[in-house]
Amino acid sequence: MDEEEHYPLAARAIAMDTYMDDVLTGSDNVTEATNLRMQLEALMESGGFHMRKWASNSAEVLDGIPEDSLAIQDSLGVTLDPDPVIKTLGLIWHPGKDVFGFGFNIPPLSEVTTLSRWQLLSIIATLFDPLGLVGATITMAKLFMQLSWTLKDKDEQRLGWDESLPLEKL
């Protein structure tokens, strides 16, 4: 906020598009994106911070950034991955295609032989979505957890955290 007058684009990005130490921001055109990048670099350097892991879907925006400060390094023009991605905060970004994705490692119920509430909660905890883009999926997982509390064993006792849930009733 102290430097907003000198670096308005950077100040907004830091205030609105930063989570912990990751700045996830963008622009609608190359000129503005380049100005934003330059302002972010200058603002952060004035505080003694060196920004790294720069990424863009435009090579022009990244022009002049040292290779060791890029998120996707193209050493000597050799790229082993034809579609490199950037992963941060549970989000996967394909700069070449300019599309977002999510990578969840949830086993299909057909492959799960036993599942306790601890295991279910552990799976749900891996669903991190700070932008709320897959909120419906996370809500369904939490509703699934809530439904598990209605299950009882053969003696009509509520199942505990470590007990295997009867998957056929879910």
**Strands (DSSP E) along 37-144, which ranges?**
86-88, 91-94, 99-102
Domain extents in the chain: 8-102, 109-169
Give me the pLDDT at residue 168, please. Answer: 75
Q: With bands split at pLDDT 50, 70 and 90, how would you rate the model's confidence at 158?
A: confident
Give me the pLDDT at residue 78, please. Answer: 57
Q: How many CB atoms lie within 10 A of CB 58?
A: 14
Q: H/E element holding 32?
A: helix 30-46
Give me the pLDDT at residue 155, please. Answer: 83
pTM value is 0.68
Which tokens belong to 149? 């509390």
Q: With bands split at pLDDT 50, 70 and 90, how would you rate the model's confidence at 1?
A: confident
Inter-residue contact 17 to 23 (CB < 8 Å): yes
User: Largest Cα–Cα distance in the chain?
Assistant: 70
- Report the alpha-carbon distance of residue 66 to residue 75 in Å, rounded: 11
Give me the pLDDT at residue 169, please. Answer: 74
Give me the pLDDT at residue 19, please. Answer: 84
- Report the alpha-carbon distance of residue 45 to residue 156 in Å, rounded: 64
pLDDT tens for 5-24 read 999 999 999 999 988 888 98
On the question of pLDDT at 137 being above 70, the answer is: yes
- Report the alpha-carbon distance of residue 111 to residue 108 in Å, rounded: 5
Mean pLDDT of 120-144: 87
pLDDT tens for 101-121 read 887 777 777 787 888 999 999
pLDDT tens for 34-90 read 999 999 999 999 999 999 999 999 989 999 999 889 988 875 555 666 678 888 877
Give me the pLDDT at residue 77, please. Answer: 56
Q: Which of 82, 129, 140, 80 is nearest to 103 (CA)?
A: 129
On the question of pLDDT at 30 being above 80, the answer is: yes
- Report the alpha-carbon distance of residue 34 to residue 44 in Å, rounded: 15
